[in-house]
Structure formats: C-alpha cells, structure tokens
Amino acid sequence: MSSREPGSDTEHRLQCFGVEHLSDLECLSLLLSTRRPGASVSRLCERLIERLGGLGGLEAASYSELRTVPGLGAARAMRLLSAFDLSRRTLHSKWLDGRLVSGPAEVAQLLRARTRRLRRESFQVVALDARHRVRGVHTVSIGHLSGAPVHPREVFLEAIERRAHAVVVAHNHPSGDPTPSLEDRRVTDRLREVGELLGVEVLDHLVLGRSSFYSFAEEAERPFSPASSRAHPTSAAVSTRSVRLPS
C-alpha cells in the first residue's frame, strides 16, 4: 500500500510535469481544497461539473447557481467566481494592450469577454488613439434586462482622461437579439453630436447579441478604418459572424 497522503500524487505530477498535465477534476480539486485534495472534494467537483454542464457551464454560473450545489459553501463559491474572473481579466488584458482594431468585428470580439456572462444590459466604451490602437476599455453603466442608462458625460470622461482620439461604444442585449431599438438610435445620434463638440469622434455603436452584433457604422456604410470592408445596408448591418475570443 502506498504511504503517500491523499492528493500527494497530484502534487508530485504537478511539480514534475506542470499543471497542464492535470485533469479538469484535479485542477478543480486543488482550487477548492483547503488542505490536500481528498475523496470528498473530488466528489464535490464531480457534482459541480455534472450539475452545471461541464467547465463551460461552471465558468458561466452565477453565485446563486453555485450555491445550489450541495457541499459548495459561500467561501468556495466565491473562490470559483474569483478564479474564473481573474482568468478572463488576464486574457482580456494581454489581448487588449495597444491592440490595433480595424473594424467593428474586432471590437465586438474584444468586448465579448466583458459582456457574455451579463444578464443585464451594460454600456461599454473603447478608447482609441489616432491609429485606432486601444487605450482602454471601461464600463459606463450596468442597467436592467431592457436597458442601461447612459449619459454623455460618463461616456467621454475617461476617454478624455486617456487622451483618446476616438471611441467605439457598445452595449449588449441580454435577449441575444442585436437588433437596435429606437432608443439605441437616439443614443447613437446624441453621442455623435457630443463627440463632435468635444473633438472625440464616435466611430461606431455596436449592439452585441448572443453570437452576432449590429454595427451602426456598417449600416451607414461608414467603416471606421480603411482596412474594414464596406457593408451593404440591406444585408450586413447585422453581422452573422460569431464573435469569440482567441484561444
């Protein structure tokens, strides 16, 4: 019989071969264990994956959903949420810094990690320099299922502080349908007017759906970069392209 303590084999393989050689269950067990991973923690991890539909479902789960899993207390639920969000922030930060964006599809892809888990509308601003390199992204407001209040002051405040030459604004539709509302059109016109006065061009307003997006710039046949392809207003204003973060 082996004299190793429970979980010591996992530790040995991690030290010798790296964490990438551990299974999903082993990684989860290490995250949720306060000491060495044991059988009870392994069973909890199996329940988590089975109940929430794999790692994808676990990553998308809310705090209240996690708490419905027997054996997963508040501390472990918060630990899971923090771990997944740190991973998203790290990926987003590496992909974001100084990135040159050439059109609405790239901006939609950039914002997907920030909005895909939200069940309420949120309004985002991407600040760009004169060459359309990203200088920063910030959330202006988070609202309710059918809207997020937005004021031009909040939209342009951080952009001005970052000395942005232009901005792309965006918000998500929790319903998954990116078709813009009348209010979306009014907000777009208002922000463009204020941007003109401030000398910060509003290049586009994106409405993010579940797997597609709507671009006001494409609708008006005003792509914000020479590298962007022109859209036909009758067919391409709502993009059917899937927007995913790179692996």
**pLDDT value at position 169?**
95
- Per-residue pLDDT band for 6 (boundaries 50, 70, 90) equals very low
Residue linked to tokens 């082993």: 26
Residue 89 has pLDDT above 80, yes or no: no
Rg (CA), the chain: 22
Percent residues over pLDDT 90 in the chain? 23
Given a contact cutoff of 8 angstroms between Cβ atoms, the answer to whether 101 and 243 are in contact is no
* Mean pLDDT over the full length of the chain: 79
**pLDDT value at position 232?**
39
Question: What is the mean predicted confidence (pLDDT) over 78-104?
Answer: 77
Question: What is the mean predicted confidence (pLDDT) over 49-55?
Answer: 86
Given a contact cutoff of 8 angstroms between Cβ atoms, the answer to whether 112 and 244 are in contact is yes
Q: Which of 1-10, 15-24, 55-64, 198-207 has the lowest mean pLDDT?
A: 1-10
Residue 130 has pLDDT above 80, yes or no: yes
What number of other Cβ atoms are within 10 A of residue 184's Cβ?
17
In the DSSP assignment, the letter for residue 125 is E
Alpha helix segments (H runs only) across 97-181: 104-115, 152-161
